[in-house]
Amino acid sequence: MLFEANAVAYSAIASWHDLTEKRVPNKLNVLYFFPTGAAGMIMAEDTVGYATFVITSFAFAYGLFLFHIWAGGDAKCFIALSAGMPLISGGTEAMMLPFSFVAAALLLAAWRLLHGKALRGSTGFVPFLCAGTLATAALFKSGIV
């Protein structure tokens, strides 16, 4: 429950920054990523599997950044959240990464459509990314996915 609460707190603060300042501070990402990553390495049954998951999340996020799908803050936020996903879900399934992205994109599209906005436009993505990532971890934990 501690990891879930920590992830929700980080997500709320990162989302607030993204919505009000259009950026997520690097210090916030570092303050979440390194303690969570250290806890993940210590608590993981398969340390290599955990490290591989975090490295894969970095490659996934960096690829989306290079193709201009995500901004730098979105990518760094996702990398930080990915360090906690295995602690919440209890596993390191690589499918959590694209599933999180798709969930976040669907949440953003739904929000924009419900508010009568075009699908393309300026909307902070971090709140939807956080919600999609946390929902994905919870779905994998529950065994639904």
Phi-psi region of 59 (alpha: psi -120 to 50; beta: other; left: phi over 0): alpha
Q: By C-alpha distance, which of 4, 29, 55, 40 is closest to 126?
A: 29
Contact 93, 139 (CB under 8 A): no
> Which whole number is the average pLDDT over 30-38?
95
Q: By C-alpha distance, which of 131, 141, 144 is closest to 7?
A: 131
Average pLDDT value over all residues in the chain: 90
pLDDT of residue 112: 85
pLDDT band at 121 (very low <50, low <70, confident <90, very high): low
Q: CA of 27: how far to CAs of 4, 33, 73, 81, in Å?
A: 20, 10, 12, 14
Degrees (nearest 5) of the Cα angle 20, 61, 80? 60
Q: By C-alpha distance, which of 104, 46, 39, 41 is closest to 78?
A: 104
For 38-93, the pLDDT digits (tens) are 999 999 889 999 999 999 999 999 999 999 888 999 999 999 999 999 988 888 88
